[in-house]
Structure 1
Amino acid sequence: MNLFDQLPCAVLHTDDDGKIIQMNAELLRILGPASPVRPGALMDQLLPPASRIFLQTHVWPMLLREGAAREIYLHLRAGDATRIPVMVNASRGSDGAHPGYTWVLFVARERSLFEADLIKARNRAEAGTRALEVNDHFTHAIADLSGRALAFLDLSTHCHFSNARFAALLGDHRANLEHGAWPALIEPGSRAIHKAALEQALTGAAPSSAALTVALAGRPAWSVRYLSSRSKAGILDGCFLVEQRHIATL
């Protein structure tokens, strides 16, 4: 048994053209008895098409330029046509009789499984993002079709959602709402009553049946009610601002 066969990892030695000069026992074991690849064959025959292309376009140029390549991720093609993920180190050298390149291969199934899990997780995240985008589009479309101004205010009365009618009623005030709480936009004369109604909605109390007039500087007046919002778990998470009737039209 030569030194190659005593090594606990797969090793092969090729000449400068990629022809296999030696393969050790561990590499033959990994490939399986059905593999036809033996010394004298080209190294390309060990690889499936994608790895073969990467070998020719990236690995060989690196070896010719630098004399070594480290931690290259490839796949072997076993005798039963299964793909075996491997990490490859290669360097210029000699097996004692033939100059060329020595290749050391480490089976990397755990890395392959980890990468597969990452890809699945990424695909799930992308699918979730697409679903949220569709849901957001649907929600805005339904809200716009309602014909009423609608908005969602969080527990600090900042707006997280509004429809086109709400934006039209606010006009230039919409930009101010992005940086501040809703009550700050309302004119001082009616701000207190809106704050009280908001506090009632944000504590989960039964809403008042009376609609409140919204007066914004330079804009037509309109009326609104505040309705409590709860999450699926029943936790109070904000309130909806719902237009009740048009006091004036735009």
Structure 2
Amino acid sequence: MDRQLDEAPCGFLMLSDNGNILSVNRTLLELLGFDRHDLINKHMNQLLTKPSRIFCQLYFFPLIRHENKIEEMHFSLQKKGGEEIPALIFANRHKKEGVFVIECVLVPMHQRLEFESEILKARNIAAAALKEAAETNKELENVLCELQAKQKELIKLNKQKEQYQERIKRELDLAKNIQGISLSTPFSNEEISISAYYQSSNELSGDMYSFYQISPGKYGFIILDVMGHGISSALISMSLRSLFQLLIMKGATAEEIMAELDTQLHLLFRNGDGIKHYCTAIFLTIDTNTKEIEYINAGHPPALWIGRDTEITEFKSTIPPIGIFEDLTFRKSSFAYQEGGRLFLYTDGVTEAISANTLNLLVKEQEPIHAIKEKIVHFLKLDEEIGIKVDDRCFLLIEV
């Protein structure tokens, strides 16, 4: 690396296409408190906070590989001692000596806080000067001039903040669209019919569902609820959903799927500061050939099976939520049915709005599942109409 680039007033990174650090300039090393040997050949995650690591995997790398260019994406860097530094990243991807590399420029965003601090100091000086206006008129004029200059700078910074918020909103809207598109599309055939509902409390949701036809006559379903709301929960749920899709396409068993999801949650926060994110989840398979349902419920509200006689069977939780305890043992339970029936899976946001008794009456009604879905959604929207703060809400209705 030449001297000018090494001593540039901004940070510089050269990454491999999979995110390993190939080169880093002295400016960035001094900003974060690392030595060069601490970072070379290490993954970019070494420099990022936990939310930024997830954001990087889900958005930064897919976008740079698709567009070959990124401008003004916001990341949070993490110093060697743990202090967080907000920064903007600009990146280009190109071939160098036959292989793709990613060159990144990182610009810390300290100035805003410094300017606000200076403006507050100027205001305090102005207030004191006003009390002594008769004796210090000249000093007051100087302070007022300084204040006007700071106010102009604040207006400029506020405009930058508005532009930044607009960018964040666009990115959140994009993330919300991606999250919605990633949900499985309901379908119907001679064996099974599926109706689904999904509503986030914020721009993004920690609830997620997914389902697939595993083989002729056999179907797999999962519904999960990550602790909390918003961006961090949504990123975790998307990560788990991607892993679930990979596992079920490989033909993994119910025990293997839940164990891998549990491991993924622990790995996401392995190097954290004690913060844990847990997730309730229920995974089940329906085999219409053998007329058997197998399931594992990890701390999730019980799934409801409604037989042809309208009797309700609950598939209750038998183990804690995933992500809390390591080395959990996952054992599936099974349920045999005779004449088909209806299955209802949901997250706890549904039962916060509808009592268990009312919910049982609704799902037992002898109507098509799309009509029952409309009735349940009507009850859920009553909370929103009267301004009650609601949780993420998600449910699946399955007619077997």
TM category, shorter: 0.3 to 0.5
TM-score normalized by the length of structure 1: 0.41
